Amino acid sequence: MPTAESSVLTSPALSTMRAAVYKGAGRVEVEAVPVPKIGPGEALIRVETCGICPTDLKKIAYDLLPAPRIFGHETAGVIEAVGRGVTKYVPGDRVIVFHHIPCGKCFYCARKLYAQCPVYKKVGVTAGYEPAGGGFAQYVRAMDWIVDRGIEKIPDTVSFDQACFVEPVNTCVKGIHQIEPQAEDVVAILGQGSIGLIFTMIVAGRKAHVIATDTMESRRKMALRFGAREACAPRDPAFEDSLKKMTNGRGADVVIIAASASGIVEQAVRCSRPGAKILLFAQTSHQERIEVSGADICVGERILFGSYSASVDLQKESANLVFSGELPVEELISHRYPLSQINEGIEQALHPGPESLKIVVHPQR
């Protein structure tokens, strides 16, 4: 009987697949590429849904990594085949896959700074070329350390569209664990894209008082629906006036910066009280610069946190939040595109309108 590994190599039906290949200079082209070959300890996953993440958009729009690459890492699908020695999963299992998993042994892992681990920085999921997540393709290869610790099974009652949120929810839960907002805290969440709205859901669920900002009225309305007490345009004087009323003039206890815009970090400092916690979540580009008064941090005893990517320790927690429906994340999806129309999805994500929010790709369609 052929092994799972050999069946992947010889099956004519799996010799080629469609993938959205980044060609450099902002270009993405859908073309035929070989289906990845798996080895011992690895798995081949048929991608059903992959979310378009802002970090992938930055890499494409600003040509941050050498081409060719196949991006996409908010991946949900079905195990197609497993390599020799894999016993935790079998073909047909519905799964989500994390593309970064730390070694668990190094200096940074010992301090739970997993995103700084050298193994974590190695992408362990690929659809070909230099590993880059691969979810914008019909199949991905999960390497052995990912199969070992980076896959979660999806319950039969949960859609692939819902399941693809496990990775982005994990990144938000990680940030929340750093700042630990308390019940009755006043928390300003700056930006109400899909990530900002996930933060709003989680923080409101902790009985804190959320005041949200976004430039789009449609997103402000969603923030109110998901638990924010107030939602304002970021430059509307009503925002800081409301904060003062809610805090007896002190300012926000916690500020979460869930968008990247000029002056947004400075606004976070300005609208926070002395001793506040401020989480930088969206400031992922080396081109971004901030300038704040040293005294606002030192004399004001404010604490700045940075949070980046997912935590292996929070996989189960984030999966439970998504799979249980406690976070109604599927309501964040505004557009669904087949792989052939991924460029429309990328363009819409880069230039969102009032009706666009989370955009997902269905590679099998």
* CATH number of the domain encompassing residue 215: 3.40.50.720
Q: Identify whether residues 158 and 193 lie together within a single domain.
A: no
Q: Identify whether residues 151 and 175 lie together within a single domain.
A: no
Region 261-269: mean pLDDT is 96
Determine, yes or no, domain membership for 210.
yes
Domain that holds residue 42: 4-165+327-362
- Structure confidence by residue, pLDDT tens digits, 80-93: 999 999 999 999 99
pTM for this predicted structure:
0.94
Determine, yes or no, domain membership for 315.
no
Q: Identify whether residues 224 and 119 lie together within a single domain.
A: no
Q: Identify whether residues 177 and 153 lie together within a single domain.
A: no
Q: Percent of the chain scored above 70 by pLDDT?
A: 96
Assign 6 a pLDDT band (cuts: 50, 70, 90): very low
What pLDDT is stored for residue 183 in this prediction?
97
Q: Identify whether residues 106 and 143 lie together within a single domain.
A: yes
Q: Identify whether residues 160 and 180 lie together within a single domain.
A: no
Assign 209 a pLDDT band (cuts: 50, 70, 90): very high
Residues 6+ apart with CB under 8 A from 139: 14, 17, 35, 36, 44, 45, 46, 47, 80, 127
Structural domain count of the chain: 2
Q: Identify whether residues 272 and 339 lie together within a single domain.
A: no
Q: Identify whether residues 236 and 140 lie together within a single domain.
A: no
Q: Identify whether residues 176 and 297 lie together within a single domain.
A: yes
Q: Identify whether residues 86 and 194 lie together within a single domain.
A: no
Determine, yes or no, domain membership for 254.
yes
Q: What distances in angstroms separate CA 188 from CA 27, 132, 149, 223, 277, one per listed residue?
A: 37, 33, 34, 12, 11
What pLDDT is stored for residue 351 in this prediction?
94
3-state secondary structure 37-56: CCCCCCEEEEEEEEECCHHH
- Structure confidence by residue, pLDDT tens digits, 52-98: 999 999 899 988 899 999 999 999 999 999 999 999 999 999 999 99
Determine, yes or no, domain membership for 194.
yes
Q: Identify whether residues 150 and 271 lie together within a single domain.
A: no
